[in-house]
Structure 1
Amino acid sequence: MNNYVSTLFNLEGRTAVVTGAGGHLCGEMARSFARAGCQVAVLDLRLEKAKAVEDEIRAEGFTEVISLAIDVAKKEDFETALEQILAAFGKVDILVNGAGINGSTPFFDITLDEWYAILNSQITGTFLGCQVFGEYMVKQGKGSIINISSASAGPPLSKAFTYSVAKAGILNLTQNLGREWGTKGVRVNAIRPGFLPTEWNRKNFITPEREAAILGHTPMARFGDPSELTGCILWLASDAASFVTGAEMAVDGGYSCMTI
């Protein structure tokens, strides 16, 4: 049984690329791919954050890892990153589009600069990642792309206006590409994390009243931990999910199944 399971979910020798990997959730995803036997490219706008995750991976004894700076709103940055990753590892099998920022500005106070900054980091970055790495994967004839949706993709959460618009777009793009590349060997899926709060979230979004509302709407009555996304991420990346594309997987403690 152990051999059966390990063969079914085997990722050893594959190359995984994670954008936003210097952050709370995607840093854990990058570490998880390394632990699963992957070569890992850690990409982030802040190179020092990416290098910190690379150092953590190396400290665990995994040496096939590189860190690169990328502005996900720039197509040329994705093209350069792809070239560097191919030079280092020879191929790309898995892409997680995880970069993105949020904002809690009241609707009437949102500036165009803030609107575009959030949209660029979220939906534009996901679009460009899918376009550049997806083209490579389609030519290769195989690959798994995992985008990051949200509980705010619909119906939207309060206080996260631009973010919610972006996440709805990411879900739609995921479904579009799942359909478009269904016969190309490239699967495109999304995960829908529940509440796994960062320090920024706690400062800007989660008041005591909001925390009570969130947990009262979550059947498990607790926040999640980034490590609890790992099983879904590794499954979607593996051949065990070979008939799964255009799907959104909720990892949210039951938040999305709750009404009253």
Structure 2
Amino acid sequence: MDLDGRVCVVTGAASGIGEEIARQFGARGAAVAIIDVRAETAEQVAEQITEKGPGSAAGFSCDLRSVQEIEAALAAINARYGRLDVVVNVAGLANRTPVEDITEAEWDLLNDVNLKAPFFVAQQAYRVMVTQRSGKIINIASHRAHTTDGNHLIYAATKAGLQAVTRDLAVAGGRYGIEVNTVSPGYVLTPMTEHNLQNEEWLSHMTSRIPLGRLLEMREVANAVLFLAAPTTSGITGQNLLVDGGWTVHE
């Protein structure tokens, strides 16, 4: 297996894209650490990954709004496995609040989860990877960092910021063999977005806007992450890989 024995950390992996990435890591032989605020669900996913094999998984409870909890979770993972090979920041929140109605509380919440948390997770991993002289950090951003419809101001701002964080970490970590990249999905069909399929007007607009003519699947985002995470993939750092069905190149 191409990730056999590698220690892979995934935030927000109790459901959705994060869960799919964690399952794909496990299917390729990795030891997967699932970080999520939903401790019971994280443990259930971890048990399923371990049962299926050939890799294994364990859940680690963490409220990503707390730097102290992030530090504790990463320390526990490092203590358990003795190294960190791949860290994927998936956990995030979206918003569709009109500009005139955005509150300070909403602004702070999305910045805490979408931007501050990925940085401090990456920082903890970075410190371990500096000692190892190797490691890969992959941040999940969004095509909304590049385009907007006027309804995702905070989300777009945090995802653009996450790409900037990625570039800085890539430059700082290069001398230590640390590769840092971003994967930016477009509209992905997840358990949380499936209800949109019932809205024919919305679905028609989406499929006409996306050159591939369909929403993306979670496995397609996971495949992009797997590509960057693979030990055989090297020399790529500070880059952003768009998995958006062609959305951002469509006029």
Give the equivalent residue in structure 2 for 1:120: 112
Deviation, structure 1 residue 205: 11
Cα distance in 2 between the residues matched to 1:70 and 1:205 = 32
1:199, distance to aligned residue in structure 2 (A): 4.2
**Offset, 1:203:** 5.4
What fraction of aligned residue pairs are identical, expressed as a percent? 32
- Give 1:210 deviation, angstroms: 3.2
Q: Structure 2 unaligned runs (5+)?
A: none
8 Å CA contact 1:75–1:132 kept in 2: the answer is no
TM superposition shift of 1:23: 2.3
Which position in structure 2 is the counterpart of 1:173? 165
**Paired amino acid for 2:123:** Q
Counterpart pick for 1:131 among 123, 133, 136:
123
Secondary structure of the equivalent of 1:253?
coil
Secondary structure (helix, strand or coil) at the match of 2:92 reads coil
Q: Is the 8 A contact 1:104 1:205 kept in 2?
A: no
Which stretch of the first structure deviates more once superposed, 153-162 or 96-105?
Answer: 153-162
Question: What TM-score does the superposition give when structure 1 sets the normalisation length?
Answer: 0.90
Instruction: Classify 1:157/1:192 alpha carbon distance in 2 versus 1 (closer, same or farther; 3 Å).
Output: farther
2:46–2:57: 8 Å Cα contact kept in structure 1? yes
SS in 2 for 1:100: coil
- Over aligned residues, Cα RMSD in angstroms? 2.0
Residues 222/204 of structure 1: CA separation in 2 closer, same or farther (3 Å cut):
closer
Question: C-alpha distance in 2, partners of 1:235/1:57?
Answer: 20
2:99 is matched with 107
3-state DSSP of counterpart to 2:189: coil
Post-superposition Cα deviations, 1:115-161, rounded to whole Å, max 9, x if no partner, equal 11111110011111111111111122100000011010122244222
How much does 1:255 deviate? 1.7
Q: Does the C-alpha gap of structure 1 residues 209 and 107 become closer, same or farther in structure 2, counting only changes over 3 Å? A: farther
Partner of 1:12: 4
- Of 224, 229, 237, the match for 1:232: 224
For normalisation by structure 2, the TM-score amounts to 0.93
Q: In structure 2, what is the equivalent of residue 144 of structure 1? A: 136
Runs of 4+ in 1 over 4 A off after TM superposition: 202-207
Count of aligned pairs:
251
Give unpaired runs (5+ residues) of structure 1.
1-5
Check conservation: 2:16, 2:191, Cα contact below 8 A.
no
Q: Is the 8 A contact 2:94 2:155 kept in 1?
A: yes
